[in-house]
């Protein structure tokens, strides 16, 4: 294999770096997909991935799983639905809407209230449970164990 062939990913990284520098891909914008770069540059997906890894190591781009790659700076992409719901539930707990020892509404009710899927509710609840904010009691439901730290409420275990 020739040296030219081995040096393709740095060349591709340079081209993308130049586009970022000249504003073709402004801060906060989403980069084209790996497949789009594969077609444009006529190289393998692995070569493009290696170029992206180099740009990410330089903090020029950010990778968000299932969302794509974004140019650093500017506003980050929208959070995943379960992350948004985690923040909303954490705030509701902190505001006393769901006080400690309170039973949370069921998945269907939370799904309807926050306009998300029941799967999204489950993911959010799993995250809050791993943080120790809520606890599942088999056959009884899910309960608030303590308020989030920093909200001024006394933790209750």
Summarised one tens digit per residue, pLDDT across range 29-42 is 999 999 999 999 99
CB neighbour list of residue 88: distance below 8 Å, 6 or more residues apart: 114
More confident residue, 130 or 76: 130
Give every CB contact of residue 138 below 8 A, 6+ residues apart in sequence. Answer: none
Domain ranges of the chain: 3-71, 81-144
Give how far the C-alpha of residue 56 lies from the chain's centroid of Cα atoms, to the nearest Å: 16
Q: Considering the entire predicted model, what is its pTM?
A: 0.52
CATH number for domain 3-71, candidates 1.20.1050.10, 3.40.50.700, 3.40.1450.10, 1.10.10.10: 1.10.10.10
pLDDT at 157: 38
Mean pLDDT of the chain: 86
**CATH for the stretch 81-144:** 1.10.10.10
Torsion of CA 138, 123, 113, 146, to 10 degrees: 60
β-strand pairing of 141-144 with 68-71: unpaired
Quick: pLDDT tens for 69-128.
999 886 666 777 888 999 999 999 989 999 988 899 999 999 999 999 999 999 999 999
| pLDDT the model gives residue 154 | 42
């Amino acid at each position: 294999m020739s040296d030219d062939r081995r040096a393709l990913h740095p060349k591709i990284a340079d081209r993308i770096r130049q586009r970022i520098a000249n504003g073709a891909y402004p801060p906060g914008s989403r980069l084209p997909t790996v497949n789009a770069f594969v077609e444009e540059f006529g190289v393998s997906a692995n070569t493009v991935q290696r170029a992206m890894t180099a740009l990410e190591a330089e903090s020029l781009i950010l990778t968000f799983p299932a969302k794509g790659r974004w140019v650093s700076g500017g506003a980050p992409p929208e959070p995943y639905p379960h992350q948004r719901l985690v923040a909303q539930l954490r705030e509701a707990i902190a505001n006393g809407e769901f006080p400690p020892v309170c039973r949370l509404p069921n998945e269907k009710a939370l799904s309807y209230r926050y306009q998300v899927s029941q799967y999204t509710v489950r993911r959010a609840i799993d995250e809050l449970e791993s943080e120790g904010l809520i606890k599942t009691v088999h056959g009884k439901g899910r309960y608030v164990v303590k308020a989030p730290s920093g909200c001024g409420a006394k933790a209750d275990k």
